[in-house]
Amino acid sequence: MAKNITFIVTKDCQLACKYCYLVGKNSKERMPWEVAKQAIDYILDHESDMREASVVWDFIGGEPFLEIDLIDQICDYLKTEMFRRNHHWFNSYRFSFSTNGINYHTDKVQRFIAKNHEHLSIGITIDGTERKHDLNRIYKGDGRGSYADVARNIPLWLEQFPHAGTKVTISSEDIPYIKESVLHLYSLGIHEVNINCVFENVWKPGDDRLFEEQLTQLADAIIDGGYYRDYACSFFSEHLGKPLDCVTQNQNWCGAGKMLAVDAEGNFYPCTRFAQYSLREKKAWIIGNIRDGIDKNKLRPFLLLDRCTQSPRKCIDCEVAEGCAWCQGENYDAADTPTIYQRATAICLMHKARVRANNYYWNKLFRKLELEDAREPYEENKPKPNPLNC
């Protein structure tokens, strides 16, 4: 497994997406170079505490590419230092970005891509059709939709990263557009669509039925249109919707605590969702800082988390528990007390709806493949997506 280390380089963004969980976004908090350098020095000095075979250096914001000069400096320093120290990550590292794509074509970003291409993973967030995307992903200030400015960069992005996937987040208002959005992303040439419902408690009565209906229509479109052969949509998974055992299937879902995030002030977090700008109700969960180091005691609750200890009875007994996800940060934010051990279940009905549509998808697909005598070739060549947890 790779260690995921995130630099929160800025809290600024050109957009003000309606579903954005970053409640404390602002244009003031940019990471100074000295902080980034000290964080890197601390992390590389503590090689024995971070034994994962490889590392993903992640850059998020706000919009990370607003800080491309700083990022370039950080990446240069990382490469030099990993080499100089003969660090075990030198031969196994990636730089990863989740961007809104607006600045993707600019000279600075393109120079950075050319310099680091073989170690880069870049995901551009595009929510689907123009109508769907512009419903949420709007510019700060004038409220203009951002679709056109992102879509023009998609061909360049796919030329440079043909296997790139995109991440789509579904909130209550997005449900009617799911089918058309996924098909639209496929039509743009994006083969992997990682899509999930927000974990926050935004769902209205009846949303689950609408969601099931959309996913059923999407299933028909993917199967009837033959997309299943080389396109992936993370809503449909063969490993979904079975009961889970509290002994043999008790793993935590979320990677918080195994990851590390650092912000502009030099504070360390178990994941970015525990930084103050991501939290609505609770205080930031700081596990240390670049000057004093990481307080390992503050990480223990994360590394001890298991599924059943944090789950309410209904989740433990759930007949379709498999694949029902959670975000530790949202659990913490929504909990009755400041704990990460109270699983939020706002997603419950949506998961159950997804399971029904997913069952439909596989029943329909496997029957079709059997009738066409095509099951074996499908199994051999099926797309293998990299599902993202958050």
Helix (H) or strand (E) segment spanning residue 154: helix 154-160
Q: How far is the CB of 315 from other proteins (least distance, A)?
A: 13
Each as own residue / partner, the long-range contacts of residues 49-52 (CB below 8 Å, 24 or more positions apart, any chain) are 49/294, 50/3, 52/1, 52/2, 52/3
Amino acid at 135: L
Q: Which of 382, 323, 387, 384 is nearest to 355 (CA)?
A: 323
Whichever of 73 and 249 has its CB closer to other proteins, that residue is: 249
* Nearer to other proteins (CB atom), residue 121 or residue 342: 342
**Residue 208 token pair:** 């689950």
Residue type, 307: R
Q: Are 268 and 289 in contact (CB under 8 A)?
A: yes
304 binds other proteins (CB under 8 A): yes
- The answer to whether residue 305 forms part of the interface with other proteins (CB under 8 A) is yes
Query: What's phi and psi for 115, nearest 5 deg?
Result: -70, -35
At residue 32's C-alpha, the angle toward residues 28 and 36, to 5°, is 130
Q: Which is nearer to other proteins, 246 or 374 (CB)?
A: 246
- Comparison of 135 and 305: residue with beta carbon closer to other proteins: 305
Three-state DSSP class for residue 288: strand
User: Would you say 156 or 308 has its CB closer to other proteins?
Assistant: 308
Task: Tell me the closest approach of the beta carbon of residue 337 to other proteins, in angstroms.
Answer: 5
Q: Which of 141, 337, 376, 379 binds other proteins (CB under 8 A)?
A: 337
68 vs 279 by CB, closer to other proteins? 279
CB 270 within 8 A of CB 261: yes
Phi, psi of 45 (to 5 degrees): -65, -25
Contact 321, 270 (CB under 8 A): no
The reply on whether position 314 binds other proteins by CB under 8 A is: no
Q: How far apart are CA 349 and CA 370, in angstroms?
A: 32
Q: Which two tokens stand for residue 64?
A: 């990370």
In three-state secondary structure terms, 367 is helix
CA distance 78 to 60: 17
Q: Is 46 in the site for other proteins (CB under 8 A)?
A: no
The nearer residue to other proteins, 38 or 342, going by C-beta atoms, is 342
Of 126 and 254, which CB lies nearer to other proteins in the complex structure? 254
**Closest approach of Cβ 198 to other proteins, in Å?**
24
Does residue 251 touch other proteins according to CB under 8 A? no
Q: Does 300 bind other proteins (CB under 8 A)?
A: yes
For other proteins, what does the binding mask look like between residues 342 and 371, x meaning CB under 8 A?
Answer: x-----------------------------
Q: Specify the residue, 44 or 335, whose C-beta has the smaller distance to other proteins.
A: 335
**Piece in contact with other proteins (CB under 8 A), picked from 70-78, 210-218, 334-342, 364-372:** 334-342
79 forms part of the interface with other proteins (CB under 8 A): no
Using CA atoms, how far residue 319 sits from 74, 145, 244, 351, 352, in Å, is 47, 41, 8, 12, 10
Residue from the set 142, 159, 336, 380 that interacts with other proteins by CB under 8 A = 336
253 versus 341: smaller Cβ distance to other proteins? 341
Q: Which of 301, 362, 364, 375 binds other proteins (CB under 8 A)?
A: 301
Instruction: Please work out the total of residues on this chain that contact other proteins, with binding judged by CB under 8 A.
Output: 19
State in angstroms the smallest separation of the CB of 306 from other proteins: 6
Map residue 271 onto helix, strand or coil: coil
In whole angstroms, the minimum distance from the beta carbon of 345 to other proteins comes to 14
x/- track of binding to other proteins for residues 259-298 (CB under 8 A): --------------------------x----------xxx
Torsion of CA 301, 279, 164, 380, to 10 degrees: 40
Instruction: Report the interface residues with other proteins, using CB under 8 A.
Output: 285, 296-298, 300-301, 303-306, 309, 335-342
